[in-house]
Amino acid sequence: MDITFPLSSETCLKIGPIAKDGETYPTSRLQKGLILIANGQELVEEGVGFGVPVLKFGVKTIFPGAIELADLYGSQDQEVTAVYRMNLEERLTGQNLRSVQSQSLYRIKNHLADVYRHFPATRRALTALSNILRRGFGWQTTFEEAGGDYTVKVYYHVDRQAGIISVDVDTADLPQDEITEVVVMNEQGARYFDTYSDSSGALLHGEAIGSWDEVTAESASFLNHTHRLAFTLQRISRARLFRGRELIGSRLAWSGFGYCLPPTRQHFSYRLKVERFP
């Protein structure tokens, strides 16, 4: 069952279980968070939506594959509790559509993905290498059961008049000695949100935004000029805020932010604002 948060006559947010039909991206199997909709059109593309937890075990990353929802309605506000099942890992399939099982390959792949995120100068070369290998071996990205099963509870509170989403992430049930980082993703589609701005005066378009760069300004936004919409986050102490945008054919199409948290932080709260601009 989907739950909808009306923000205006033209804009709303939606959250619900994974839709199995009409899958267009490898990440379609991942559970999404809050999806932004304008004039009946979903703006998320390949992005995971707002307020979605991701777990890091060193260079290994675990994504959510399912969700349980409970909602509470108020006169002007709306609250939803989401329990994310963290159980999927990115894998590769070959030309025979069978999953590649080489653990050495995945260790190398995950290490290079970490290098890609932390060293911007390597990104063009690593992207070219990835494209060559994918074409040569017929590799495609899939998501499969990771062999573990964790849960993360996220509380969403939406002030419909102000367009403010309050998010509280509860990681108390996670094994603190195994997880190296928790990332809370806030993404929509790259084709819609192709402009970045922040309170320091930065204004970036398209590829100039980068794919995973730290935000040092106090607040930062992604803008959609077609629908005149923006979503904005604040930098928060004891968490690092990163921005990114990737648009690669039918494989990647996301724009947004990630809060990176130490595993010892059992509760993390923030607010995201959705608004129209002139």
In a domain, 117, yes or no: no
For residue 16, the SS3 value is coil
**Structural tokens at position 150:** 């964790």
Q: What is d(CA 115, CA 96) in angstroms, rounded to the nearest whole number? A: 29
In a domain, 232, yes or no: yes
Q: What is the pLDDT of residue 144?
A: 84
In a domain, 114, yes or no: no
Number of domains in the chain: 1
- Beta-strand ranges (E) seen in the chain are 3-6, 11-15, 35-38, 41-42, 49-57, 60-73, 77-93, 140-159, 164-170, 181-189, 195-198, 203-205, 213-214, 219-224, 229-234, 240-248, 252-261, 267-276
In a domain, 216, yes or no: yes
Residue that is written with structure tokens 């367009």 in the block: 163
In a domain, 110, yes or no: no
Q: What is d(CA 152, CA 56) in angstroms, rounded to the nearest whole number? A: 13
Q: What is the pLDDT of residue 189?
A: 97
- Rounded to 5 degrees, φ, ψ at 148 are -125, 170
Contacts for 125 with CB less than 8 Å, ≥ 6 apart: none
Q: CA torsion angle for 43, 46, 48, 54 (degrees, to 10)?
A: -160
Task: Give the domain extent around 235.
Answer: 3-89+143-276
Q: What is the pLDDT of residue 173?
A: 86
Q: Tell me, what CATH number does 173's domain have? A: 2.70.98
Q: What is the pLDDT of residue 106?
A: 57
In a domain, 97, yes or no: no
In a domain, 155, yes or no: yes
Give this prediction's pTM. Answer: 0.87
Q: What is the pLDDT of residue 34?
A: 97
Q: What is the pLDDT of residue 121?
A: 72
pLDDT in single tens digits along all 278 residues of the chain: 789 999 999 999 999 998 765 557 778 889 999 999 999 999 999 999 999 999 999 878 999 999 999 876 655 678 999 999 999 988 766 555 455 555 665 566 666 666 666 677 776 776 666 666 556 555 666 788 888 789 999 999 999 999 999 999 999 888 888 899 999 999 999 999 999 999 999 999 999 999 899 999 999 999 999 999 999 999 998 899 999 999 988 888 999 999 999 988 889 999 999 999 98
**Structural tokens at position 45:** 């593309």
In a domain, 108, yes or no: no
